[in-house]
Amino acid sequence: MAYATDHTANVQAGNAGFFSGIVASLRERNARRRLFKETVSELSGLSNRELSDLGLSRSMIRRIAWQAAYEA
């Protein structure tokens, strides 16, 4: 009987770690997506002149935002 009790406790502990890993992964994905969207929004709000001063063009906004969120 002790084996069954120990085995059940280990399975429950393993499931808790598995699900907490999934939750952590989802939170990280959401945070990265939020950063991407905020970066696109902020850069899109700049005028062409301001983007030019930064050495950027409108066609670069999504790539820059992607790099900021997912390659950092």
pLDDT of residue 49: 97
pLDDT of 13: 63
d(CA 12, CA 24) in angstroms, rounded, equals 18
What is the per-residue pLDDT for 17?
83
Q: List C-alpha distances in Å: 1 to 6, 7, 15, 50.
A: 9, 10, 21, 72
Domain boundary assignment for the chain:
2-70
Q: Could you report the per-residue pLDDT of 9-62, keeping only the tens digit for each? A: 555 667 778 889 999 999 999 999 999 999 999 999 999 999 999 999 999 999
Measure the CA–CA gap between 35 and 29, rounded to whole angstroms.
10
Q: What is the value of pTM for the model shown?
A: 0.74
Q: What is the mean pLDDT of residues 57-70?
A: 97
